[in-house]
Structure 1
């Protein structure tokens, strides 16, 4: 009997370690990204740089507007892409421009367009509802600017805009809620810059910012939680750059960034990167796109791929591309065990019952046997992924 009790206690110690926090977690450094670029359309909008593009999840179409042909002419056309082909929409809308910012508000089901350039800086706001453009005359608007960046924060249901340049470099943060623009005063902020990229990470609830240009090209990473900016110090980072394409790709588990321009001569780049869980890693696709910047990009959730259109190799929008590419792949993470240290936990036991409550997001443990006797425990505990709580 004594040997049985000893065996029970040994087993109980092992079990309670498991129940108290040995949970499978992704092993950092063992994540493998398998993704390749695939050219998906040879026809569509004319070659251009500096177009705006978003994915309209309600209508399952990517929307592209404007851009520059590189010779001083600007477009005012609206196109949609269904994953197989492009269709031009014969609608009136914003005036011709390039470098306009676009973001899709999934709560309201509209694409928001702000600013741009056409022989002068433009700072009006437009919305596309899937069939027509409407100019929004807001009480407030950000000061006119170029080379800014904008994304949609799906947690707080606002468009977020940061930085840019007009007569001077800017580092202000603005939000648009569908009714008005509001400046967000933050305790910290990235240095004033232009040509940076931002994308919203819904898994972590933060807007991610990378790079751009101040007096020099930058390769710093920042995160905005809706209240303040925090600089991230990843173990490695992409090289400094201006004008990359960037969007969050849940299929790959992070923010994808492609290309941009490097150095004082604005040499185009063609590297592909993934930012996830506070770190960058380079993706090595079998097929590489031609180096470029000023590309338009969006993540298409119904097809699970990152789509990129066009771009330029000359600052100002010259030597343009008119091709459409899709980054397709998956991220796989090896699983490992990691012990969670908790201040409170069930006592050592065996033969308890445990199951997961998916509606409430907790694991529930009941009863079991301790060294004092078989079936002598009748307590109930809940595990929320970080801590144990005993239920009365």
Structure 2
């Protein structure tokens, strides 16, 4: 089963993705932030607060732009980094790319460098300095060293025509810190990254570089990056999902695209090698985000399908270590690209954000759209 009621077009600009959103709900134009047709509402009723200005990056690479003002949230943006941070007891969001309207009626894309926190009830912008503005960076939480690790992405301070970064940053719940490892992966964006709890290292696979789509596997041990040499490796791909499966002690990789192909193969990483899982491929294929659901002990995936010859579609699928189950329903988020997902153990829910200003939550059974309180 797949949903087909959103039209979304993506345009490449160097390494950035500038998204034009035309949302059609039952043939009616709907702006981001309006209630999706048939969506279940979750309304913890936070208070709306104005967005403070975003400080410049301390590394001198770029100056972060202020996001479009949106009540009670980060606003519409694509490719933001999103991860649960136990140090802050909330979901951390950094950066992304957004479209703004200028006084002369143009709609340029800006790349953001702001930091936000979701506490299960509302979004709050943090008044901190951090990495240069960027989108499509990789992020994971390191539970051994108790920091969020962010790598790469694409933005004004990056290198080459694609403006790619290769810097490593950590967030300790209070501040961002630029790290200086002896070795670094090549500049890239949209790689897969997850923390391997069993081996105590960050695992990063693939990514898009200036001239190639990588198939390398790297690990980060809190001090340095190490390039590994596994016997087997997944084929090159873009827009794939990757998450650590706590229940089974392996990292799971699924889907993505390469050229015109929309992929639905499943791979696992055991700390030494990649293994393609001999399981029936689900109907879902294409751009994927994965998150481990600690309450159900499964991996949930949101899959966006786009093709020149077929309608847009989306799927919700669940991996239990042996098979995929299609959980697509009428209350799913409408098809959308460049979303990000993470699990919030404080609420027992998976949180999905982007590229609109909508915040969605998965409770293990169905999706629901969180709506902020009306401004009075």
Q: TM-score, normalised by structure 1?
A: 0.69
- The 5 A counterparts of 1:230-269 are 230-242=275-287, 244-264=288-308, 268-269=312-313
Q: 1:250-271, CA deviations, whole angstroms, 9 ceiling, x for partnerless residues?
A: 2222111113243258965332
- The alignment status of 1:73 with 2:110, answered yes or no, reads yes
CA distance in 2 between partners of 1:178 and 1:267 (Å): 44
CA distance in 2 between partners of 1:38 and 1:250 (Å): 23
1:44 and 1:85 in contact (8 A); partners too: yes
Q: TM-score, normalised by structure 2?
A: 0.72
Task: Give the 3 Å change call, closer, same or farther, for CA 142–107 of structure 1 in structure 2.
Answer: same
Runs of 4+ in 1 over 6 A off after TM superposition: none
Q: 1:133 — aligned with what?
A: 176
Unpaired runs of 5+ in structure 1? 1-35, 312-320, 332-392
Q: Which has the higher helix share?
A: 1
Task: Give the 3 Å change call, closer, same or farther, for CA 329–147 of structure 1 in structure 2.
Answer: closer
Task: Give the 3 Å change call, closer, same or farther, for CA 270–189 of structure 1 in structure 2.
Answer: same
> What displacement does 1:224 show?
0.4
Work out the number of aligned pairs and report it: 286
Q: 1:364 — aligned with what?
A: none
Q: 2:360 — aligned with what?
A: 325
> What displacement does 1:306 show?
0.4
CA distance in 2 between partners of 1:271 and 1:136 (Å): 38
> What displacement does 1:240 show?
2.2
1:126 and 1:136 in contact (8 A); partners too: yes
Q: 1:44-87, CA deviations, whole angstroms, 9 ceiling, x for partnerless residues?
A: 10110100000012331110000000432111000001000010
- The alignment status of 1:157 with 2:184, answered yes or no, reads no
For residue 329 of structure 1, give the secondary structure of its aligned residue in structure 2.
Answer: coil
1:37 and 1:325 in contact (8 A); partners too: no
Task: Give the 3 Å change call, closer, same or farther, for CA 288–66 of structure 1 in structure 2.
Answer: same
Q: 1:86 — aligned with what?
A: 123
Superposed CA RMSD in Å reads 2.1
Q: 1:148 — aligned with what?
A: 191
Q: Which has the higher strand share?
A: 1
Task: Give the 3 Å change call, closer, same or farther, for CA 61–186 of structure 1 in structure 2.
Answer: same
Unpaired runs of 5+ in structure 2? 1-38, 45-70, 100-107, 157-162, 367-376
Q: 1:226 — aligned with what?
A: 271
1:246 and 1:297 in contact (8 A); partners too: yes
> What displacement does 1:286 show?
4.9
CA distance in 2 between partners of 1:165 and 1:266 (Å): 25
Task: Give the 3 Å change call, closer, same or farther, for CA 111–279 of structure 1 in structure 2.
Answer: same
CA distance in 2 between partners of 1:111 and 1:59 (Å): 11
- The 5 A counterparts of 1:108-119 are 108-119=145-156
> What displacement does 1:288 show?
2.0
1:251 and 1:330 in contact (8 A); partners too: no
> What displacement does 1:309 show?
1.1
CA distance in 2 between partners of 1:40 and 1:232 (Å): 40
